[in-house]
Structure 1
Amino acid sequence: MAPSRAPSVQLLRSLRSSDVYSGASSTTRAFSTSCRQHEEEVVVQRESFYRNPKPETAFVPRLERRLAAAGTPPIGSRRRRMAIAQSQGVLFDQLPFQCFQEARKVLIEDRQEKLQQIQTMRDRIARLQQSDGNALHRGGEQYKQKRLESMRTELEHLKILADVNDPNVKRRFEDGKGDMSKPIYRFLADRKWRDYVQKILIQRITQMKVVPDVVPHCDPIVDVKIKFGRTNVQAGDFVDSAISEKPCQLTVQSFEKDPKLITIAIVDPDVPNLETDSFNSRCHFLASNVQIDALTPHLDLAKLAEEQILVPWLPPTAQKGSPYHRLSIVLFQQKDNISVDKAVALRNIQQTDFRTRSFMTRHMLTPIGASLFRTKWDDNMGAVMQRAGIDGAELELKRVKVQPLPYKRRNPSTFR
């Protein structure tokens, strides 16, 4: 330590010690002639930071791991938790930093400007709705509706710009208290998802050939998470056959305001075909006319209505000796939210030889989300196949040894 820093360090230590014991010093008894035994003795007990860690203020890695193991993970970033722990209860908006307060004034003025622009845009939309489309433009009512849609999109963009720099909004979003009915929280959630989770998902579905084996292309715009009971499944994980015997639960998080009608398809493209020495695609679940929005992301496939289910749940299976099977979960958006007629759809569906591309073209579907899990032969697979009525539990697939051509065979007689 430099000699010039030694006095300042000692001074800081003395100030900290005086702050810590300031509460205890206030309880000391001054000079008095009264009897001490008649006075109540106040004992100040400070709450231990290490024995009782809190999710809002724990910033030590050891305490973070303890909270995560207890089921109450830390809230927000470590830098923010450290600042709260050392601020001694000062409100976030009243932090005594001049630069911070001056920056807040600039943000408040900018927000007032955006609010005025929002009100102006709302008035323009109201006037356009009351006007006659034929008198407004030669395009007529079609031009009017297109112009209204463009103005509503600009209005949503202004709402995001009004709150995107607000530190309180970012704090609530980090705490997981964001209201997905508001455009700013949908924007922040979408940006956070695209920064990391979407990239990992695209890597998995391309690396494991879900694209193009199942669908020709897929640009995910919704977050899809898989869960079997209490087991969370990451994209590409192996799932035991005893767990996947029952339908899974999906968390489909949409980041747009308007609800969507989607079709859910679970396809296995790795079913061995011994006659043609190739693989077929088998549909394990198919449901249409399922509505999703930003506020209700949870979907239990076992609780869907009967008129929505085209193909009921078939447990994923894999014969002994066969490679692992990819159970691809693909979500399709129905064009213009038009319902799919169940009677018409069932005419051309073949569960054992399901053609995903033909199904997409026939009903004008667009893939908006995908995920997958894998299965292979395990100790419970035989019983699952028997209960599901799938043949082949007693068979074991073996690779056929390909004999080399005559001129490539090794002749031991020539080696003598």
Structure 2
Amino acid sequence: MSSCQRAARPLLQSLRQEYLIRRTSHLPRAFSTSAPRQDEDPTTTTTAPSTPPPISSTKSMDQLEAAANSMGGETRKFRMKERLLDRETTTAHWAERKLISMGTPPVGSRRRRAALRTSENVPFEQLPYQCFQEARKILQEDRQEKIQAIAKELAKIKRLEDTPADQVPGGERKKNLRLASLRKYLEELKILADVNDPVVKRKFEDGLGDMDKPIYRYYAEKKWRGMPYRIITQRIQQLNIVPDVLPKFDPTVDVELFFRRIKVNPGVILDSRITEVPPRLKVQVFNPGERLVSIVVMDSDVPNPETDSFERRCHYLAANVSLSPNEPSLPLGNVDKEKQLAVRWLPAFSQKGAPYHRLSVFVLEQKPGEILDIAKLRELYSGRDGFSLKSYRDKFGLTPVGFNIFRTVWDESTAGVMERAGVPGADVEFKFKRVYSMKEEKKARGWEAKRQKPKYRGLWKYSKRIHGISRGRR
């Protein structure tokens, strides 16, 4: 136990005791009537005589009490279920799964929710720690300085925008460069104003941050640039996505892949049945504004026995899909079939005997304000086979920004998946050809060459290259 935990434990225990005392002090005292004791004279009791129920009543007293108890039990169960389904304080595993399925996941970690449920609801910024409050005062003073600097920069930008280009040294080009530099510095000041605020950090860790604000985008990018970015770049290098698919590529957007509510780690081998349903993407961008993107899912390992090589196949293609920092979810099955979908989803499959197939998921950003012609895309890529991502990128001026990948191999359910998808070739099995060495057979030399005659039969046991029993190198 650290010194900080040892110092905070007495305070936490006192807060919990006060909370329990306040909670029990407000509870009304429950009174109940019971039968008198056997040694007590029933005529001396001071209780008011109760009128017996009429004989003609349809329900007896026992039935009424049982009904009241059952109603009270149902009410208590309902209240308990409501409390367990509170996304701020729940700690039950089944409640967490149900909240996630309802689209309202629990807030923060389970340890945080347990602490909130067993302690008073004190606002985070009003925690009774003197050092914490003194540090917040210093942070507030620093924030006020940053706000004043932001106001000055805004005034500079407005003054420069109102100035005609012919009055600026360097003309229109220098004016635009100066405006871009000032706006970039303004965004940095907005981040520095809130980067040390504990309330902002707490909201981001709980998943309640507004991604339209630059500080939360900064935190999200910083988190992604850690392990997730390293893993995805490692997969690009290990699985030879560069240069097999693109000559060079560095992702700048976080792309997470989900199949049937299951998050897929980059490069994992999936069962064919899971890929029958189109996946859902979570694409988190780190720059402001709304943009249009294209989504491509392609197989870069389609075997071709005629040419003894591998080709590419398009499994999904959609364009003109809107994307913004606050709306990262992109279900591929819910895109507009008339204005966005160019090539419908095809499940991942691999024929028997073939090596694993790499299915890459690319997110390509379109030019600002440009809308692609879906009819033209359907005409070009409806055949699926022979798809080239580099050609698609160059033809329509797209920029690859996001990437994820999964793999597939032949399994026991692949034949059924191919049959349901209408794909032929489930009965085809690939076999590797045996490649024989083209080197000439080496002749025996030295000691072995001199003792090949039958009179040296007693020495053959010391050699491995005599009379066809050779197992050495050739």
| Category of TM-score, reference length = shorter chain | 0.7 to 0.9
Q: What is the Cα deviation at residue 370 of structure 1? A: 0.5
Report the alpha carbon displacement of residue 237 of structure 1 after superposing the two structures with TM.
Answer: 2.2
Kindly state the Cα deviation for residue 75 of structure 1 after the two structures are TM-superposed.
4.9
Pairs aligned (count): 384
Structure 2 residue identity aligned to 1:94: Q
Q: How does 1:265-280 map to 2 (within 5 A)?
A: 265-280=296-311
Aligned-partner Cα distance in 1 for 2:110–2:268:
30
2:366 corresponds to which residue? Answer: 334
Counterpart of 1:188 (choices 196, 202, 219) is: 219
Spell out, residue by residue over 1:333-379, the C-alpha distance to the aligned partner (whole angstroms, 9 max, x if none). Answer: 23445333446656765631122222223333222111011112123
Distance 1:267 1:66, change over 3 A: closer
Q: In the aligned structure 1, how far is the partner of 2:419 from the partner of 2:26?
A: 77
Q: Name the structure 2 match of 1:105.
A: 137
* Structure 2 match to 1:383: 416
Counterpart of 2:74 in structure 1 is none
Q: Deviations over 1:38-60 (max 9, x none)?
A: xxxxxxxxxxxxx98997679xx
Structure 1 residue 278: deviation in Å?
A: 1.4
Structure 1 Cα separation of the partners of residues 20 and 207 of structure 2: 36
Unaligned runs of 5+ in 2: 1-9, 28-46, 48-82, 443-463
Unpaired segments of 5 or more residues in structure 1?
1-10, 28-36, 38-50
Q: Is 1:363–2:371 an aligned residue pair?
A: no
Q: Structure 1 residue 123: deviation in Å? A: 1.5
Range with greater deviation from structure 2 (187-196 or 145-154): 145-154
TM-score, with structure 1 as normaliser: 0.78
1:317 matches 2:349: yes
1:124 to 146, 156, 171: 156
CA contact (8 A) 1:214 1:267 kept: no
2:236 to 197, 205, 225: 205
1:396 corresponds in structure 2 to 429
Are 2:126 and 1:94 equivalent residues in the alignment? yes
More displaced 10-residue stretch of structure 1: 273-282 or 70-79:
70-79
Which structure is higher in RCO with an 8 Å CA cutoff and minimum separation 6? 1
Aligned partners of 2:217 and 2:286 also within 8 Å? yes
Shift of 1:262: 2.0
- What is the rounded CA distance, in whole Å, between the counterparts of 1:18 and 1:177 in structure 2? 30
State the one-letter code of the partner of 1:124: K
The SS at the match of 1:121 is helix
CA deviation profile, 1:21-66 (whole Å, cap 9, x unmatched): 8667999xxxxxxxxx9xxxxxxxxxxxxx98997679xxxx7878
Q: Please identify the structure whose Cα radius of gyration is greater.
A: 2
Secondary structure of the structure 2 residue equivalent to 1:306: coil
Give 3-state SS (helix, strand or coil) of 1:114's partner. helix
CA drift of 1:179 comes to 0.9
Q: Distance in 2 between matches of 1:82 and 1:103?
A: 27
* Secondary structure in 2 matching 1:125: helix
RMSD, matched Cα: 3.8
Assess, with a 3 A threshold, how the Cα gap between structure 1 residues 374 and 16 changes in structure 2: closer, same or farther. closer
Q: Is the alpha carbon distance of 1:83 and 1:71 closer, same or farther for their aligned partners in structure 2, counting shifts above 3 Å? A: closer
1:414 match:
468
Is residue 353 of structure 1 aligned with residue 386 of structure 2? yes
Is the partner of 2:274 in helix, strand or coil? coil
Q: In 2 relative to 1, CA 82–124 (structure 1 residues): closer, same or farther, beyond 3 Å?
A: same
CA distance in 1, matches of 2:374, 2:367: 16
Question: By how many angstroms is 1:254 displaced?
Answer: 1.0
- Aligned sequence identity (%): 44
> Is the 1:281–1:354 Cα contact (8 Å) retained in structure 2?
yes
Residue matched to 1:165: 196
1:41 alignment partner in structure 2: none
Which is worse superposed, 163-172 or 291-300?
291-300
C-alpha distance in 2 between matches for 1:236 and 1:17: 47
Q: Secondary structure at the match of 1:390?
A: coil
Measured after TM superposition, the shift of residue 178 of structure 1 is 0.6
TM-score (norm 2): 0.70
Indicate whether 1:372 and 2:405 are aligned.
Answer: yes
Any residues of structure 2 matched to 1:234-313 within 5 Å, and which?
234-302=265-333, 303-313=335-345
